[in-house]
A = this chain, B = another copy of it.
Amino acid sequence: MAQFINRREDVVTEAIDGVLALSGGALTRLDGYPHIRVVLRSDWDRSKVAIVSGGGSGHEPAHVGFVGKGMLTAAVCGDVFASPSVDAVLAGILAVTGPAGCLLIVKNYTGDRLNFGLAAERARAFGLNVSMVIVGDDIALPDLPQARGVAGTLFVHKIAGALAERGADLETVTAAAKHVIAGTRSIGMSLDTCSVPGSPKEDRIPLGKAELGLGIHGEAGVEQIDFAGARASVATMVERLAALMGEGPHVVLVNNLGGTSVLEMSVLAHDLLQSSIGDRITHAIGPSPLMTSLDMQGISISVFPADATELELLKAPVAIPAWPGVSQVRSLVVAPMPDGLTPITPMPSNHAGTRAFLVNCCNVLIAAEQDLNALDAKSGDGDTGSTLAGAARALISAIDRLPLSDHTQLLRAIGQELSQTMGGSSGVLLAIFFAAAGDGASSGLPMREALRAGLARMQEIGGAKIGDRTMVDALAPALDALGDSLSAAATAARKGANYTATLTRAKAGRAAYINARQLEGHIDPGAEAVARLFEHLAT
């Protein structure tokens, strides 16, 4: 599986530098590349408790993405899925810890525990006040005494970070972090494995199966289960969570493990709120990629029964782009449909001249059906004649409903009829032509100008220009010449139609896909229809 990386060895440093360059100066890194990859707040003055986290990379935006005022003071990054070294963690601690001390937030993996733990000891030997909490929110393996730390860690980052930012002391921040850890439960599910840079992708999950209870390092889930859609997946996860979560209202954190589409994440969020614990979820963070497992097509759900203070700390605004904020879960707001969707039916009226004119035009198109189909067969699917004739027949049969004595209303009404009876793009485009012409007429334009306004709108929407081998090539010159006489218009229309036979490259419509030789010498059927119409009217 190819990935957008360069050398495997550089992936973490390049990614960090990418984030830094786009942080607007908010983030700084230590000059310790390639082995020591520590990112810290640029504005940090050591006056408050420092919050340091980190671990293996591959969980982006964690942890660098959560460094900033009100969350992490520094992040220490290991290689992909590998703990940072003791020296790297120590560098992070030393770079940010002042008299108020430092809290290390560590996900429960042996490597992280040991390396952060020893770094803490070494920092203490310098007289620094360092405390450490270990997050183990994963409930996938209830018998495992040391649960893994997964996305629920974000609750700890945010609450500890917000508290520290307000000036709480190390003891208070540490106790708050421990309280969050005690209440947080997470579980994950995935439909595919992740792609570890430089390693072949493990093809472990067969189609039709999902893995439940997986970590964030590509390790296999606790079990493979039958996959039965989003709702059933959420129900399975929720069942596990419900057995172990506390009473009362909870905040949920919906984490995209990396490769799940935004569409799917929203469906999953919907199903979660409809699930058996839905009515206990009062607030949500995400859905968002927060603690990913590279590009894994999976999700994790974390729940935490925040009290009022904790909720307020979670909600405290931060200028950290990767943090999606906390939203309150509300019932859907549904507004009534607006009036006006049913088209206004114009009052029918009669006008003998207009009626005759209209029927006359329709008959021209009906008579041309076979010829136009034949022309269309050269460049399209041979149905232009039938489409136009069908619309003409429909218009004749609707003639008693039309407002024949009011030309403005009539143009709009024809547009409406065409949009309902004539299929395809050409039906919509002609509907637009007549509707816009009606619009022009209603604003006082003379008929010729109104028709030109209709043409302009049709061209704007359809995109056809003169020379694109469409009906526009005949219609545009005809309308331009209409000011002189109908016969001038007919001549112009015919000239324009004939011109299309010389155009060997159609740029709009279906003929755009046909090659030059097939088109040469054949008039565009739409242009021919326009020419015949004007020629008939001029005689």
Contact = CB atoms under 8 A, between A and B. Distances in A.
Interface of A: 1-6, 11, 14-25, 27-32, 36, 40, 42, 57-58, 60-61, 65, 80, 86-87, 90-91, 94-95, 108, 110, 113-115, 117-118, 121-122, 124-126, 132, 134, 145-146, 191, 194-195, 197, 207-208, 210, 227, 229-231, 233, 258-271, 273, 284, 287-289, 292, 294-295, 297, 299, 321, 324-325, 327-341, 343-344, 412, 415, 419, 425, 428-429, 431-432, 435-436, 438-439, 457, 460-463, 465, 468, 507-508
Majority-rule SS of A interface residues:
mixed
B4 A335 contact: no
A462 B15 CA distance: 31
Contact of A337 (B16, B28, B36, B331): B36
A417 B197 CA distance: 35
Contacts of A265: 4, 18
A90 B344 CA distance: 13
Nearest to A293: B261
Contacts of A108: 463
A22 B412 contact: no
A438 B338 CA distance: 76
B21 A330 contact: yes
Contact of A333 (B29, B324, B327, B425): B29
B332 A21 contact: yes
Given A124-B435, A145-B463, A261-B292, A266 B229 contact: no
B42 A333 contact: yes
Given A330-B25, A334-B29, A432-B117, A263 B294 contact: yes
A42 B229 CA distance: 31
B428 A114 contact: yes
Contacts of A58: 263
A264 B4 contact: yes
Nearest to A136: B463
Given A267-B14, A270-B15, A125 B258 contact: no
A151 B184 CA distance: 38
Given A15-B270, A432-B117, A229 B6 contact: yes
Nearest to A324: B321
A23 B270 contact: no
| Assembly stoichiometry (copies) | 2
22 contacts: A4-B191, A4-B229, A4-B233, A4-B264, A5-B267, A11-B263, A23-B327, A24-B330, A30-B334, A94-B341, A95-B335, A95-B337, A113-B461, A114-B425, A114-B461, A117-B428, A121-B439, A122-B343, A124-B436, A125-B435, A259-B259, A295-B297
B264 A3 contact: yes
Nearest to A28: B333
Contact of A261 (B263, B295, B325, B412): B295
A31, A270, A330: which has the most chain B beta carbons within 10 Å?
A270
Contact of A269 (B22, B113, B210, B258): B22
Contacts of A3: 191, 261, 264
Contacts of A230: 4-6, 14
B266 A18 contact: yes
B94 A339 contact: yes
A507 to B, nearest CB: 5
B91 A337 contact: yes
Given A2-B210, A332-B17, A436-B121, A60 B261 contact: yes
Q: Please name the 5 residue pairs, one residue from A and one from B, whose CB atoms are nearest each other, closest first.
A: A18-B270, A117-B461, A121-B435, A15-B266, A94-B338
A319 B493 CA distance: 55
Nearest to A108: B463
Contacts of A20: 332-333
A510 B259 CA distance: 33
Given A118-B431, A146-B463, 19 more contacts: A4-B233, A4-B267, A4-B299, A5-B267, A6-B229, A15-B270, A18-B267, A22-B287, A31-B336, A60-B262, A95-B338, A121-B436, A125-B435, A132-B461, A145-B465, A261-B292, A262-B289, A264-B295, A295-B297
A46 to B, nearest CB: 11
Nearest to A257: B261
Contacts of A61: 262
Nearest to A111: B425
A269 to B, nearest CB: 4
Contacts of A262: 60-61, 65, 258, 289, 292
A520 to B, nearest CB: 20
Contact of A273 (B18, B268, B334): B18
Contacts of A273: 18, 21-22
